[in-house]
Structure 1
Amino acid sequence: MNAPVPIDLAEKFGLIHEHWRPRVAAKLNGQDVRLVKVKGVFPWHSHPDAEEMFLVWKGAFRVEFRDAVRELSPGQFIVVPRGVEHRTAADEEAEVLIFEASDVINTGDAPPSEYTAPVGETV
């Protein structure tokens, strides 16, 4: 077996120049570790068949639900249960890791839009 190579998050985030376009940094057990830069407000959506985990690496990030808003700082994460409507937002640019099944489309059940990222793009 070839020994795995460490992934440098700062280096990988430095290669991302768009907001709301997740890139796959690693794969494990049918899941992606996706890196995304965010700024502004993402559309409301849900993922009927998958949970999502958001881990803030840099900046301030929030997950909005219809009945609550959860503010996250670097080093904090949240798991959005399957089927729960939500949207994500950041007033200033933030860097976030997303852990989810490899076949999950970032906009979930929302209609395709400029926010819909191609599945499987790597960094």
Structure 2
Amino acid sequence: MQTVNLQEKFDQFDAYWTPHIVAEANGQHVRIAKLKNSFVWHKHDKEDELFIVVKGTLTVNFRDHVETVREGELLVIPRGVEHLPQSEEEVLLINITRAETTHTGDTVADVTIPLEKMKRL
């Protein structure tokens, strides 16, 4: 058992769209990431995805609407729903998801980080 200082963890990296594992609980990863600009369209067929915005404003595009997630807010994206996260300015994000889930879901792209290469901080 150890307290995790999120700001200290965010300060350890600069790359955008690169999740880092900071904790695990009940088969779930607690991952943090810095986001800026646009990600890729993707979905997660087997699990919901939880975004918690620590700093900034995240826009999540869906095929039929757009959600804005502001600092201190969260959004749960239901399994199987295609989405495209993006932000104009830097966003600090917490993502809680099953440990076996890649951050690009069913999409393989240049930004995809295989689970075995995801860094633990």
What interval of TM-score do these two structures reach, taking the shorter chain for normalisation? over 0.9
After TM superposition, give the deviation of residue 16 of structure 1 in Å.
Answer: 1.7
In the alignment, the residues of structure 2 paired with residue 121 and residue 101 of structure 1 have an alpha-carbon distance, to the nearest angstrom, of: 16
Aligned alpha-carbon RMSD (Å) = 0.9
Q: Given the alignment, which residue of 111, 114, 119 partners 1:118?
A: 114
Q: Given the alignment, which residue of 24, 27, 30 partners 1:27?
A: 24
Q: Conserved in 2, the CA contact under 8 Å of 1:42 and 1:87?
A: yes
Q: Conserved in 2, the CA contact under 8 Å of 1:41 and 1:90?
A: yes
After TM superposition, give the deviation of residue 105 of structure 1 in Å.
Answer: 0.8
In the alignment, the residues of structure 2 paired with residue 83 and residue 113 of structure 1 have an alpha-carbon distance, to the nearest angstrom, of: 18
Name the amino acid aligned to 1:92.
E
Q: Within 5 Å, which residues of 2 pair with 1:1-123?
A: 4-110=1-107, 112-119=108-115, 120-123=118-121
Q: Deviations over 1:95-118 (max 9, x none)?
A: 0000000000111111x2221023
After TM superposition, where is structure 1 displaced by more than 4 Å over at least 4 residues in a row? none
In the alignment, the residues of structure 2 paired with residue 63 and residue 106 of structure 1 have an alpha-carbon distance, to the nearest angstrom, of: 14
What is the number of equivalent residue pairs in this alignment?
119
SS in 2 for 1:6: coil
Unaligned runs of 5+ in 1: none
Percent identity, aligned pairs only? 36
TM-score, structure 1 normalization: 0.93
After TM superposition, give the deviation of residue 73 of structure 1 in Å.
Answer: 1.0
SS in 2 for 1:50: coil
Unaligned runs of 5+ in 2: none
TM-score, structure 2 normalization: 0.94
